[in-house]
Amino acid sequence: MYRKLIIITIILTALCSGLHAQTVIEGTVLDVQGQEMDAYVTAAPKSTGYILGFANTDSKGHYKLQIKTTADSLTITASGLAIGNQVKVVPNRSQRLDFRVKGQTVQLKEVSVRAQKIRQNGDTLNYLVGAYQQQGDRVIGDVLRRMPGIEVSQNGGIKFNGKSISKFYVEDMDLLQGRYGLATNNINAQDVATVQVLENHQPVKALQGRTLTDDVAINLKLKDSAKGTMAINTMLGGASNRQAAGISVAVPSMTDRPPSAIIPYGQPKSWACTSPSVART
């Protein structure tokens, strides 16, 4: 009998201690006008950073914390983007604890997101023109000279890592048939978004992936605003200039080719081509 009383006493003492250690703190987080604020509330023993419990406010700004600790005092913190950190120190007992906060403007640090200057995709190197373009650059050749590995001669010839390129494309079209000096010295730099260097280039589509080459080609990817017309800004403004350049540009009528094959003619001092038909004169 005596032994049973001891066991019962131990059990009751444990239960009472457990109930006593349970602390419930609840309340609201509202602004000075009584509007609910989005926040999360944490509880920690005073003078420590150990989080005993946390709760988010609901749609009415209400929160409820249930914690167990023998600490004498608790630090209750309400935090949120619009309120910062609001801290109160209270005795360790169940109670209601309301926060009345004043909204504040939080200044976020400026974040700069920059695209990669050079990006490799398989055998293709993509140079971001905007990363190399400087004030005063007029034609794409001015920008090409600053790109690592690319050399541009005075007459517009291009080498990559010391090797002359074999093809020069604009939007994957061989418009100039090897006379790419016209492009480097005349295409507006502001019209080009990306310069692609195509290593191990195979111009014959039927042989791509079958026959290996060490040829290098360049492809200009135009900005959306420049697509449809290619701005060669000084040489090809009139017929006399085209003759001086030694080329002629054939522009078939709508009845010669389907509309999808036609790149619309641009503004004066621009060169519009249809699915390239460029012949030397």
pTM of structure: 0.47
Name the class of domain 118-232: mainly beta
Domain map (residue ranges) of the chain: 20-101, 118-232
Same fold, 20-101 and 118-232: no
**Sheet architecture: strand order including 84-91:** 53-56, 40-45, 73-80, 84-91
Residue 270 pLDDT greater than 70, yes or no: no
172-224: per-residue pLDDT in tens? 888 777 777 788 888 889 999 999 999 988 877 767 767 778 889 999 999 88
- Distance (Å) of CA 201 to CA 117, 219, 263: 22, 11, 26
In terms of Cα–Cα distance, which of 273, 260, 72 is closest to 177? 273
Residue 68's SS3 state is strand
Q: Taking a C-beta distance cutoff of 8 angstroms, is the pair 185, 198 a contact?
A: no
Residue 74's SS3 state is strand
90-136: per-residue pLDDT in tens? 999 999 999 999 876 666 677 666 667 888 888 899 999 998 998 88
**In this structure, how many other beta carbons lie within 10 angstroms of the beta carbon of residue 62?**
16
**In this structure, how many other beta carbons lie within 10 angstroms of the beta carbon of residue 274?**
17
**In this structure, how many other beta carbons lie within 10 angstroms of the beta carbon of residue 161?**
11
Average pLDDT, the chain: 75
More confident residue, 5 or 45: 45
Q: What percent of the chain has pLDDT over 90?
A: 27
How many angstroms from the chain centroid is the CA of residue 40?
A: 31
**Which distant-in-sequence residues (6+ apart) come within 8 Å of 13 by Cβ?**
none
Q: Taking a C-beta distance cutoff of 8 angstroms, is the pair 57, 39 a contact?
A: yes
More confident residue, 185 or 229: 185
Half-sphere exposure of 158 (CA within 13 A, CB side): 32
How many angstroms from the chain centroid is the CA of residue 105?
A: 27
* CATH 3.40.50.150 applies to domain 20-101: no
Distance from C-alpha of 181 to C-alpha of 246, rounded to nearest angstrom: 12
Residue 258 pLDDT greater than 80, yes or no: no
